[in-house]
Amino acid sequence: MPSGKLILASASPRRRELLGRLGVEFEILPADVEEFEEGHGDPEGMVRHNAALKAAWVADRSPDRFVLGSDTTVHLDGRVLAKPADLDDARRMLRSLSGRTHIVYTGLALLCRSGGVEVVAGARSEVTFKPFDDAVIDAYFRIVDPLDKAGAYGIQEGTELIIESFVGSHSNIMGLPLDETKELLARHNLL
């Protein structure tokens, strides 16, 4: 039988903050896995796979607990923009996003080995960037560390510099779609 608090299989401070908004008690145990990041392919399938991979790693170590895994990526022109390797890569990503609309995909996985629960879901949002130049990118980098963010940006800081609009879940763009997460947790009596 499942027992104890939910475990979030992520070290992301944004996911920790977002999950905290739901009022659920949880612990954090980051999954020690190598995420699959296919540059060309199915971004929605990739984030769902990675979310399940993270949740499975933690669930294997805590089989009587519910575990929530999540993964987010940015998709533009048939390519996945994962976390940048360095500042030059981050600058390249932002240049490619300037003045364009891209899609943010997040995968969610809720697992409990002893309870036989294995649910994978996801969310999708569209983000349109303002056109901008390198001076704006430099100003943005003074506010935001782009290296730990898919697509080299976060919607919660410096928004006025780069983002024109978005359609869909704001929290999805941050890395954890709250409506989908709340529904998933409520379905399994975790809220």
Integer angstrom CA distances of residue 6 from 66, 177, 189: 5, 17, 11
The tokens for 12 are 């992301």
32: left (phi over 0), alpha (psi -120 to 50) or beta: beta
Which of 60, 64, 71, 133 is catalytic? The answer is 71
In the annotation, is 71 catalytic? yes
Q: What sign for the dihedral angle of Cα 160, 18, 96, 146?
A: positive
Residue whose structure tokens are 């995968």: 107
- Coil/strand/helix, residue 129: strand
175: left (phi over 0), alpha (psi -120 to 50) or beta: left
Q: Which residues are catalytic?
A: 71
